[in-house]
Structure 1
Amino acid sequence: MVKDLLARGLTRRRFLQVSAAAGALVAVGDRLVGGTLAQSPASSSNQEAEEKVFRAVCPSTSLCTATCPLLATVKDGRITHILNHPEYKCCVKGHSHRMTVYDPTRLKYPMVRVGERGEGKFKRISWDEAIDTYANKIKEVIGKYGNQAILWYPARGTGGLARAAAKQRLPNVLGGMVTTWGSLCIANKGPAAASVYGTQNSESDLHTIKDSNLAIIWGYGFADSNRRVDFAGEAMRILMDAKERGCRIVVIDPFFSQTAAKADQWIPIKPGTDGAMALAMANVIINGNLYNKEFVDRFVLGFDEFKAHVQQYTPEWAAKITGVPADVITNLAVEYATKQPAALFPGDGPSRAGHDPSQWVRACGALAALVGSVGKPGTNACSGMGFNKAISAPAALTAADKSKVTVKINECQIGDAILSGKAVQASGKTADVDIHMLIGTGASVINQAGDSNKIVKALKKLDYIIAVDLFMTPFAKYADLLLPATTIFEGNDCSFYGSAGHAIVYNEKCIEPMYECRSDLDIWAAVATKLGVGADYHADWKDVDWMRETLKAAAQSAPHLADVTIERLQKEHVVFVGPRPFIPFQEQVAGSKPFPTKSGKIELYSKDMEAQGLPALPTYLDDFENERHELAKKYPLAICTPH
């Protein structure tokens, strides 16, 4: 990055001067006025006075559980470089976003398709024509097929506080559209955790391992992914600090990751077989009489059934499946049971691999329950979500009562739903759908939703597609109307990860919108006005108005947000909410509350899972494309990515 700055005429000395100025930002406090770093008498040259430092946030926070604040220096209306916040560091992704802003391949103006879908051939049009087309196509499809014929899909690219309510309100004030449910990333973790503990918010902050004797990091690449912390690099610092204090770190991962390299022990495992090892550990703990009998008797439902169930899962059996030696499985199980407090952190990777990986999540939750590693410092109950910031847009702000469309499509099954006309609902039931139009904002569905060929086939079936994005993504090439969006640096916003960490970070507008790009809010406001619902949609609200009203509404049901105002965020840049560290179920273990399951206990035997035709007890299912599958001889390799 320094080379890039030098190429643009910025000397190394000047780079260091600006870095020092940014480092002084915390010290100057409210001397930062309107994005301008107040100059001291010692630095009053014209060049210094022209440079401004803006408080920003990493745009990757829509996809990353970390929420890293940044400082953007701007001169002559152009971002000169991105700096770390003096206290909280950002990874390379955050620093690279200056290149995103000025990438020459960004979409620059509205366009309509002139070639075949997928060819990527478009012609330039005006914004007036674009908004007319957007609005008229909505009116046309609703008039011909009804509101339920439009799939409204503002995806990960539309994260942030400014759009939280707005992206839901527009379709609702029009009578509703089909929306999505579920998650492309963690579809299994939440429901699986809830089946055992009654809530998805069952995972402790990683900070809890400061009180652990043992930390098992299972499928989490903390050195690569910034999971379960607020800022980049924080997880590895926490791990190393705990290690220095005597906490033994064990990493279970198919490949020797950077995280594994820093551990006391690395246990390689065959992808997708994690459930076999977890259940074998349960076998060892139960048969060795190492489980916490007092905790199990008081808080656990279904122990007897689980005890009988895991007899089949011996360490010797698991060794053949997982590639992990039986003695390694046994020793780790014994250590986990006898070195409490210990924290088992089941990660995202194994929750996506194999046949129904939710069974592995449930098995890990069962392990914690067996040894009583729940609700106390140094422990972790299950894989799932962390602290729930509860910054969601209330029904009144999203105009939910105006929507008459109740059907949704699972994010992972968009292609299936369009092609088959059937959509599985969150309840497990199946509903009929008949999608003719897709409006995707920040939604590169082809390379994100799985089975790209099926998605392409589905897109070709639709009557009309609108895409709003920064670049010509694979999905954008299939659009009939393609609109250029702004980056986070071109407007005001506020970033947070809803169910993990504690940071809320404000982003002030650093530069004017590039080219002819418009923000999602401006586009939606124009479309609402064109369709005659501008007042009902609040088309006159700006980004700061949407943020202020969303925070006010959310605070009514979330006391920890009571003192979080837009003015405070603008002043402090980074605001923390909730208990730190978050350790779920402390009140339950203390005896003051039941667990939020139907029985009020930790449920190893789940009647809800059984009612859906799923195993009532955590079960290893081996029928997936592994080395024992009939296709293994032809396709012997398994892809394993760090996401």
Structure 2
Amino acid sequence: MPDRRGVSRRGFLTVAVSAIVAGVVAGVGGYYAGSSAAPVEEVTKTVTSPTTVTTTATTVTTTTTTAPPSTVTTTATTTSTTTATETVTITAPVKETVAYTFCDACNHVPYCGIKCYLRDSQIVRVESWEGYPNTPLCSKGFATLQRQYHPQRLGYPLKRTKPKGSPDPGWVRISWEEAYDIIVSKMKEIRDKYGPEAVLFYCGDPKEMRPAVSRLATVFGSPNYGTESSTCFRAAALAAQVTFGLIALGNPPTKDTKTTLIWGTNPAWSGPFNMPKLFAAKERGTKFIVVDTRKTPVADKLADIHLQLRPGTDAAVALGMINVIIERGLYDEEFVENWTYGFEALKEYVKNFTPEKVEEITWVPADKIVDAAVLLATNKPATLMAGVSTLTHSTNAAQTVRAILTLVALTGNFDVPGGISVPTYPLPFRSHDLGDPDFIIESKKIEMKDKRVDKDYFPVWAEVVHEQIQMNRLPEYVKSGKIKMAILFGANATIWPQFHEYQEALQKMEFAVAVDYFLRPWTHNYVDIVLPAATNYERIEPFIWFGRKIYVRKPVVQPYLEAKTDWQIVFDIAVRLGYAKEFWDGDTKKGLDFILQKAGVTYDEIPVPDGKEIPPPGSEEYKKYEKGLLRKDKKPGFPTPTGKFEIWSTILEKHGYDPLPVYKEPEESPITRPDLAQKYPLILITGSRVPMYTHSKWRELSWLRDLMPYPIANINPEDAEKRNIKEGDLVVVENSHGKIKVTAHITYIVPPGVVDVFHGWGMVPEAHVNVLIPRLFDPISGFPTYKAALCEVYKVG
């Protein structure tokens, strides 16, 4: 029986909550490898253990042992023939050393901190890193210890001996020298035959290797470097850039915040380190508006107003709120008059989005839209926490984010204390998920823009997103003959809609190499060489910072068998290609120093675990657009072509797209495809976060897999009853693109008419929801439609 909070008495959400609780509890006591959590009282311990000692004769030889205690046999020859056996107690000191690293279990940058305890150079326990800004660790963070010593970790380079796509690739172990020789030879061959741009460089997850891989692509001469951000945060960042020239997508509430707008994100599961901040804000009296199709833990525990909308209609909700704010004169007149471009056109456009009309479109009651708009505009300052993936997984991706950012700006909440803030004196480098512009040589990437494979498909992306190409058209890039080889770090071929087309693209390439922790057939069956990667416990790269405080790490343990760090693999290949100077003769620490020197420090000058604070040159300023602190020319305004917050985007206008933040119905919805809706009346969403996995990661780990051992479909009780579906039934989810089999979870977390299928099960193709996702893309950002498809569900048998 489901309850009204969407928590089954025996279902998935129960164990999901248990996972969070287990993580927090373990964060206090620590997590042992292979044992339960226990506190550490001191670093050096004495272990007392009974030990059997056999003595012969009257003289006993004294023997000293070290931990772990073991059986000690001492024998001496004398004239006596008397033999006796006794049990004695040997006390041996056991030394534990402490080390620190960053967690890479999820995609949040900067990461959470891990404190490690070691015995005999082996990690035996991990805890939250006390004093580090992102804590406590969640269940995924603790499970990185199981990954570290997992018996299936890759330890050696492998080369296939059978054709790509074969069920058995015939992997054979090879040396690193042979692997490097083959890879470098193929890169040179492809470059000489087709040009360097025919080699694709790609980074999936974790994000830590991105600067190194991006730099290698640039130096090699290929602008065709891509990442999984083609389906993650980069569309939202693009939307911000074409609106006000910056990447600022919101932040958690501060002591000054009076209202927090949480839109399409569930930090209880996706970023649990934020939850203490949110609960503290609630205690201070901060009001919360949550916009989400699902009744998430955040909506359940924090929301003063919950707008539970139809999937894919977020822009309509934002425009409806803007309508209320403009009609009631609640917008910030000074900001609008002096710092926006296109307000009058927006004012005219949103007349079509009355609360009543928006209710028809979105399922959100008109009075709730009014209440949310008034609260946001009057209970200020207000901040935004946006689900940058949730909002962009539709064919209206970029415009949806633009509508929400415009809503927040019109209410006067941009760059004010307690609102969406932009740091006055950020450190002089960019985070590693984007890559520091100087390190990745972004200026050269811009010079090579005509060789980008995505420029004709997604021209706005190609103009604005300098550091990477849009990956969603990879099958087309390969079919056209423009991509002949790929070097893949942390790649998963099944993250894309209709993923079999991406597997086929890898198979058709002349050569492909992958770097990973594990051998994963759903991707690696289509590549030629697989290289073993070192984990977060085995590498120093990269460094992390919060505000102006920088943290570094040292390797906690030596790499497993012959595994190498991603950065080292990149640097080794670069040196063999003849780029020793550009890659500091293969010294990755010098590469880090190249970036750090911009802040006046080196890696060795930053203490572990304390980190190093870099003093700012001045005090924090707000409304920087008034003071010339946002533009390179030091003039007041925003770094946009007009110098204003561009409600009317001149970049979008130049490329022939609607310059206003418009609403467009999803291309596959009950409104646009009533013909399909007759056969497939339910709306399918996917990509929702769970506490124990990050997308497709960590299915190898039993500590987490025990919490969610199989794929789940969340179904509202009303829809389940109509279809005679019970909790735990095996069901088929089907649409015009394919069908899968998953387990039904009956819950009020989703409204009637919506089915939420968890993703990331690439190892079980018959249960992988991306089979059901059409290859329909937002024309501006190129993002796919994971959050707006049609489907039907029925019981197996």
Shorter-normalised TM-score: what interval?
A: 0.7 to 0.9
Q: 2-side partners of 1:247 and 1:153: how far apart?
A: 42
Alignment of 1:72 with 2:116, yes or no, is yes
Letter in 2 for 1:408: R
Cα offset for 1:640? 3.5
Residue 614 of structure 1 pairs with residue 657 of structure 2: yes
1:396-451 CA-to-partner distances (Å, cap 9, x unmatched) read 78597699954235343252442343xxxxxxxxxxx611111112222x123443
Partner of 1:31: none
- 1:105 pairs, out of 143, 152, 157, with 152
TM-score by length of 2: 0.66
> How many residue pairs are counted as aligned between the two chains?
577
Q: Deviation at 1:584?
A: 8.9
456 and 189 in structure 1: CA distance in 2 versus 1, 3 angstrom threshold: same
Tell me which residue corresponds to 1:545: 590
Q: Does 1:257 align with 2:280?
A: no
Local SS of the residue matching 1:508? coil
Following superposition, the deviation at residue 465 of structure 1 comes to 0.9
Deviations 1:176-210 (A, max 9, x none): 4632376331232112112222222x3343143x2
Say whether 1:373 aligns with 2:448: no
Sort the Cα spacing of 1:283 and 1:132 in 2 relative to 1 into closer, same or farther, 3 A.
same
Residue 135 of structure 1 corresponds to 184
Decide whether aligned partners of structure 1 residues 239 and 141 sit closer, same or farther in structure 2, where only a CA change above 3 A counts: same
Residue 484 of structure 2 corresponds to residue 461 of structure 1: no
Query: How far apart are 1:470 and its partner, in Å?
Result: 0.9
Q: Tell me, which stretches of 5 or more residues in structure 1 are unaligned?
A: 23-44, 227-231, 422-432, 556-560
1:413 aligns with 2:472: yes
Q: For residues 550 and 586 of structure 1, what CA distance do their matches in structure 2 show?
A: 29
Task: Mark the CA change 1:396 to 1:511 in structure 2 (over 3 Å): closer, same or farther.
Answer: closer
Q: Secondary structure at the match of 2:531?
A: strand
CA spacing shift, 1:139–1:403, aligned 2, 3 Å: farther
Residue 602 (structure 2) pairs with residue 565 (structure 1): yes
CA distance in 2, matches of 1:578, 1:389: 15
Whole-angstrom CA distance in 1 between matches of 2:443 and 2:660:
37
Q: Distance between the aligned counterparts of 2:397 and 2:346, measured in 1?
A: 18
The amino acid across from 2:109 in the alignment is T
Q: Determine the structure 1 residue equivalent to 2:94.
A: 48
1:42 paired residue number: none
Residue 16 (structure 1) aligned with residue 39 (structure 2):
yes
| Structure 1 counterpart of 2:193, from 123, 133, 144 | 144
Matches within 5 A, 1:478-517: 478-496=526-544, 504-517=550-563
Between the aligned partners of 1:506 and 1:289, the Cα distance in structure 2 is 50
Pair 434,140 (structure 1): closer, same or farther in 2 beyond 3 Å: same
Amino acid of the structure 1 residue aligned with 2:649: S
Pick from 270, 276, 286: which aligns with 1:247?
Answer: 286
Q: Structure 1's 618 and 130: CA in aligned 2 closer, same or farther, altered over 3 A?
A: same
Q: Which has the higher helix share?
A: 1
> 1:211 and 2:256 equivalent?
yes
Q: TM-score, normalised by structure 1?
A: 0.81
Match of 2:339 in 1: 299
Cα distance, 1:128 vs structure 2? 2.6
Cα 1:535–1:203 change in 2 (3 A) is closer
CA shift, 1:270, in A, is: 1.4
1:192-203 equivalence runs, <5 A? 192-200=239-247, 202-203=248-249
Instruction: Find the counterpart in structure 1 of residue 81 from structure 2.
Output: none
What is the aligned partner in structure 2 of residue 39 from structure 1?
none
Q: Flag the 1:125–1:184 CA change in 2: closer, same or farther, 3 A.
A: same
Change (3 A) 1:155 1:5: closer
TM-aligned CA distance change 1:21 to 1:320, over 3 Å: farther
The amino acid of 2:665's aligned partner reads D
Aligned partner of 1:437 in structure 2 is 485
How far residue 120 of structure 1 moved from its aligned partner, in angstroms, is 4.8
Partner of 2:126: 82
Alignment match, 1:602? 645
Report the secondary structure of 1:298's partner residue. helix
Which of 220, 224, 233 is matched with 1:178 structurally? Answer: 224
- The code of the aligned residue for 1:481 comes to I
Matched, 1:60 2:105: yes
CA distance in 2, matches of 1:471, 1:481: 13
1:528–1:375: structure 2 CA closer, same or farther, 3 Å change rule? closer
Q: Distance in 1 between matches of 2:441 and 2:660?
A: 39
Determine if contact 1:381/1:584 at 8 Å carries over to the other structure: no
Cα displacement (A) at 1:289: 2.2
Distance in 2 (alpha carbons) for counterparts of 1:215 and 1:607: 30
State the Cα distance separating 1:106 from its structure 2 match. 1.3
Worse-superposed segment, 527-536 or 113-122 = 527-536
Answer yes or no: is the 8 Å Cα contact 1:375–1:589 preserved in 2: no
Q: CA deviation at 1:535?
A: 5.0
Structure 1's 405 and 576: CA in aligned 2 closer, same or farther, altered over 3 A? same
Indicate how the Cα distance of structure 1 residues 586 and 493 shifts in structure 2: closer, same or farther if over 3 A, else same: same
Q: How far has the Cα of 1:54 moved from its partner? A: 0.8
Aligned pairs (5 A) from 1:335-414 = 335-380=375-420, 389-390=429-430, 392-393=435-436, 395=438, 406=449, 407-409=451-453, 410-414=469-473
Between 1:243-252 and 1:408-417, the stretch displaced more is 408-417
Residue aligning to 1:475: 523
RMSD (CA atoms): 3.3
Q: Name the CA distance, whole Å, in 2 between partners of 1:600 and 1:11.
A: 58
Question: Once the two structures are superposed, what CA deviation does each residue of 1:232-283 show, in whole Å capped at 9, x if it has no partner?
Answer: 52x2222222222221112111111121122133221111111111101111
Q: 1:58 to 1:11 in 2, by over 3 A?
A: closer
Q: Is the 8 A contact 2:544 2:552 kept in 1?
A: no
1:123 paired with 2:172, answer yes
* CA deviation profile, 1:293-330 (whole Å, cap 9, x unmatched): 23322222211111111111111111111110011111
Counterpart in the other structure of 2:707: none
Deviation, 1:346, is: 3.2
Aligned equivalent of 2:205: 156
Higher relative contact order (CA 8 A, sep 6+): 1
The alpha-carbon distance between structure 1 residues 296 and 175, as it changes in their structure 2 partners (threshold 3 A), is: closer
Deviations 1:58-83 (A, max 9, x none): 1236x223421111112122211211
CA–CA distance in 1 between the matches of 2:221 and 2:33? Answer: 53
Does the C-alpha gap of structure 1 residues 583 and 299 become closer, same or farther in structure 2, counting only changes over 3 Å? farther
How far does residue 606 in structure 1 lie from its aligned partner after superposition?
1.6
Which letter maps to 1:566? Y
Q: Percent identity?
A: 29
Q: 1:536 to 1:568 in 2, by over 3 A?
A: closer
**Deviation of 1:506 (Å):** 1.8
Distance 1:259 1:389, change over 3 A: farther
* Contact 1:173-1:403 at 8 Å conserved across structures: no
Q: Could you list the per-position Cα deviations for residues 498-518 of structure 1 after superposition, in whole angstroms to 9, with x for gaps in the alignment?
A: xx8666432211111112222
1:451 aligns with 2:488: no
Counterparts in 2 of 1:381 and 1:327: CA distance versus 1, 3 Å? farther
Q: Give the CA deviation at 1:642.
A: 2.7
